[in-house]
Amino acid sequence: MSVELNELQESARKVIGGAGLAANESATWSQLVELGWLLVSVPEALSGLSMGLPGACILHSELGRGLSAAPYLAATLAVDAVCQSGFSDREHWLDRMIAGELVTASLAESGVQTSGKHLCGDVQGVQSADSARHMLVWTAGNELVALIALNQPGIDIVVKNTWDQTRRLFSVRLNDIDLGEQVILAEGASAESLIRRLLVQRDFALAADAVGGAASILAMTVDHLQTRIQFKRPLAMFQSLKHRCADMKASIDAAEALLFDAARKVRHEPDSPDARIKAMGTKSFATTMFARVAEACLQLHGGIGMAVEHPCHLFLKRALLNEHLGSATNVCTQETARVLMAGTR
CB neighbours of residue 271 within 10 Å:
19
Instruction: Compute the least distance from the CB of residue 100 to other proteins, in Å.
Output: 28
| CB of 35 or CB of 237, closer to other proteins | 237
CB neighbours of residue 11 within 10 Å:
14
Cα separation, 248 vs 259, whole angstroms = 16
| CB of 244 or CB of 283, closer to a copy of itself | 244
| CB of 145 or CB of 236, closer to other proteins | 236
Q: Which does 130 bind (CB under 5 to 8 A by kind): a copy of itself, other proteins, none?
A: none
| CB of 103 or CB of 259, closer to other proteins | 259
Q: Which does 181 bind (CB under 5 to 8 A by kind): other proteins, a copy of itself, none?
A: none
Q: Which residues contact 141 (CB under 8 A, 6 or more apart)?
A: 113, 114
Instruction: Compute the least distance from the CB of residue 263 to other proteins, in Å.
Output: 10
Q: Which does 320 bind (CB under 5 to 8 A by kind): a copy of itself, other proteins, none?
A: other proteins
Element (H, E) at 169: strand 169-178
Instruction: Compute the least distance from the CB of residue 76 to other proteins, in Å.
Output: 21
Instruction: Compute the least distance from the CB of residue 241 to a copy of itself, in Å.
Output: 8
Binding-site size for a copy of itself (CB under 8 A) equals 5
| CB of 16 or CB of 289, closer to other proteins | 289
| CB of 92 or CB of 243, closer to a copy of itself | 243
* Footprint on residues 233-272 left by a copy of itself (CB under 8 A): 238-240, 242-243
- Beta strands 144-149 and 183-187 are antiparallel
Instruction: Compute the least distance from the CB of residue 266 to other proteins, in Å.
Output: 12
Instruction: Compute the least distance from the CB of residue 25 to other proteins, in Å.
Output: 19
Q: Which does 230 bind (CB under 5 to 8 A by kind): other proteins, a copy of itself, none?
A: other proteins
Cα separation, 323 vs 84, whole angstroms = 28
Cα separation, 187 vs 112, whole angstroms = 14
Instruction: Compute the least distance from the CB of residue 6 to other proteins, in Å.
Output: 11
- 320 lines the binding site for a copy of itself (CB under 8 A): no
- Beta strands 144-149 and 155-160 are unpaired
3-class SS at 124? strand
298: amino acid identity, one letter: L
Q: Which residues contact 92 (CB under 8 A, 6 or more apart)?
A: none
Cα–Cα distances in Å, from 93 out to 98, 102, 103, 185, 193? 9, 11, 10, 12, 21
Cα–Cα distances in Å, from 114 out to 105, 129, 138? 18, 22, 10
* Footprint on residues 217-236 left by a copy of itself (CB under 8 A): none
Q: Which residues bind a copy of itself (CB under 8 A)?
A: 238-240, 242-243
